Structure 1
Amino acid sequence: MDTIYKDMFDSSHLLCEQIRRQLFKLVVPEGPALVVLDTERRLQTSHPGRIGFLLGDNERLVEQMCARLDDGEDPLVIPVKGGCAAACQLATERVHCGYLIVLFEGYDAETLSANMAMVELILAQAQLICELLDKNNQLHHLRLLDLSRSSEVLTR
């Protein structure tokens, strides 16, 4: 049973999906566009019509951003078509589950740099959500292990 629960709760895909759901619920339609990428760099966005900066000639931009984040440049702020993007890794002590890109439309690099404390706060909140979800998953894992060990049906 331990292996089954471990596979369920230690999955980076599960954590990435949980993070995506929590973050996307928080974004208003006129707010910044969020892009969450899993460890295989498949992306999902809160605003599909507003991520043109990641398409066409800029398809490699996502790979370049992820590579720079992997190299330790976290948070990352870069100018993109129509604004600026800020990105960070989503990871806990136990698992790396992906990346977050926040598109600030209409911002130039100078404006975003002047508001870097706000950007870092937004990215830190996303990271905190990641940490809390992972801790919650660990607690569920331990609770299920305890229940399976004390269950008369499962111990036979």
Structure 2
Amino acid sequence: MKLRVSKIFDFETAHALWGYDGKCANIHGHTYVLTVTISGDLIDDKDHPKYGMIIDFGDIKTIVKKEIVDVYDHCLLIRKNTPHEKYADVETAFKKVWCTEFQPTCENMLIDMVERLQKALPDNIELKYVKLQETRSSYAEWFAGDN
């Protein structure tokens, strides 16, 4: 029987959207909430210690922590082609600055996260849904069925 299980994570990230015509052009931060939903067959070996599970929630936590949380948490994301004279001190003054290839919008961050998770999950586990919530009322979603 196939089921889905989800786990929710949160982390703090700052970003600036270079060239944006609103407040988000300035460096600011969010408490992001990430929901990861996977699918797979239940382990049906009654002698297996994880009998009845798709995957141990601890295993999901380990993967997401390594691939997403450790990368994004307390990091400043700035697009690589941002004029460096404006941000030169930022890159050298702080330890965790990521000059991304993409504009660090919620949507682009979500795409990066999905790609990282798809590579890291075991072959028998399918990524079904990922939601990245930037604020209480604003989020981006990825559905496997749409892609």
Higher RCO (CA < 8 A, seq sep 6+): 2
Give the number of the structure whose residues are more often strand, by fraction.
2
Give the number of the structure whose residues are more often helix, by fraction.
1
Tell me the TM-score normalized by structure 2.
0.30
